[in-house]
Amino acid sequence: MEQLTITLRPGSAPVHFFRGGAGEPVLYLHHLAGLQGWEPAIAELATRFEVFAPYHPGWGPSQGLEDLDSGLDLVLHYVDFLDALGLDRVHVVGHSIGAWIAAELAAIRPDRVNKLALFTPIGIWDDAIRGEDPFAQNPLRATEVLFADPARRENLILRDGTVDPLENYVQEMKDLKAAAKFLWPIPDTGVIKRLPRIKAPTILVGASGDRVVPPAYIPIWKANIPGSEAKTVLDAGHLVNLEQPSRFATIAGSWFLRPN
């Protein structure tokens, strides 16, 4: 594994990303609370694939949130990212807000996406289902709502080995601010009308304990993505990758390796 940066255009903020493993290329797009380094789920995926895991602009060390105003800007950012790395076609595993970006990418540039795995995708709103507000949380336990078992929140606090409470809080607020830019005040991104354009074989994965994107949203995504399949991970909340890393890697990996 190596931690790298790449500049997509002269003068633009560098993208920070991890790269590791060997095999077919996989783009890993992280959830709304950021990337916790070379996470166990990513490491496991990298035993079978070459994984690229960038920080979205505005999350972690990646700057450049102010240059992005819309989901389209995010998609173009990742088209540029793939171009810069010389990656023509990739599998994409997207999680939470990353699943929304992945779905937009697959809808707008179907030629660049091989297979798609969307975990706890955010970006569709239904008044009858709703879901808890990931932002209106007590700052002393801001991210509890993201876990089925709040004790596993430790996995998020220990991001990048950083344990200083102020630094951790500053980083948490920066990551959530970046997510808010695209999901505030209601996470209805309009992606639902573009989902039928997706050509990539897609698996949708909900989490039984997800309070932010209740599992009842998964059938809506499935109904709008032609030929897609769906699964539910038990004993996990919105951040499946941190609560069930092995299940996460297995589901994505098996989907990408399954002959279609």
Partner 1 sequence: MKFHWFNLMPYPYLPDDFRQKHRSVWVDVDSRLYDPVKGHRIYHDYLDLLEFAAELGFDGIGVNEHHANAYGLMPSPALMASTLARRTRDVSIVLLGMSIALYNPPTRVAEEMAMLDVISGGRLIAGFPVGTSMDTNYAFGANPATLRERYQENHDLIIRAWTDPDVFPWNGKFNKLRYVNIWPRPIQKPHPPIWIPGGGSIETWDFCAERGYNYSYLSFSGFKRAAQLMNGFHDRVAELGLPFNPYQASFAQQIIVAESEAEAEESYFPHAKYFFERCLHIYPGFADAPGYRTEATIRAGLKAQVGGVSSGGAVGKSFRQCVDEGFLIAGTPDQVTEQMEHLITSLRVGHVFCLLHIGDMPREKCEKSTRLFAEQVMPRLRHLWQGYEDRWSPKPLPAHLMAEPRPIRQPVQA
Taking the least distance from each CB to partner 1, the nearer of 128 and 166 is: 166
DSSP secondary structure string for all residues of 104-150: HHHHH-GGGEEEEEEES------TTT----SSSS-GGGTTGGG-SSG
Q: In what order do the strands lie in the sheet with 50-54?
A: 2-6, 15-20, 50-54, 25-29, 90-95, 113-119, 202-207, 229-233
Indicate which single residue of 2, 128, 140, 193 sits in contact with partner 1 (rule: CB under 8 A): 140
Of the candidate spans 1-9, 138-146, 204-212, 220-228, the one that interacts with partner 1 by CB under 8 A turns out to be 138-146
- Say if CB 87 and CB 6 are below 8 A apart: no
Q: How far is the CB of 145 from partner 1 (least distance, A)?
A: 9
Of 70, 103, 95, which Cα lies nearest the Cα of 146?
Answer: 95
Q: Which of residues 146-205 bind partner 1 (CB under 8 A)?
A: 166, 169-170, 172-181, 184-185
Exposure string of 191-218, with b = 16+ CB inside 10 Å and e = fewer, is: bbebbeebebbbbbbbbebbbbbbbebb
Residues 113 and 260: their CA atoms lie apart, in Å, by 15
Residue 258 CA from chain centroid, whole number: 22
| Binding residue count for partner 1, defined by CB under 8 A | 23
Indicate which single residue of 80, 135, 168, 199 sits in contact with partner 1 (rule: CB under 8 A): 135
Indicate which single residue of 10, 128, 136, 161 sits in contact with partner 1 (rule: CB under 8 A): 136
Of the candidate spans 3-11, 76-84, 132-140, 206-214, the one that interacts with partner 1 by CB under 8 A turns out to be 132-140
Q: Which of residues 71-130 bind partner 1 (CB under 8 A)?
A: none
Taking the least distance from each CB to partner 1, the nearer of 10 and 185 is: 185
211 part of the interface to partner 1, by CB under 8 A: no
> Which spans of this chain sit near partner 1 (rule: CB under 8 A)?
65, 133, 135-140, 166, 169-170, 172-181, 184-185
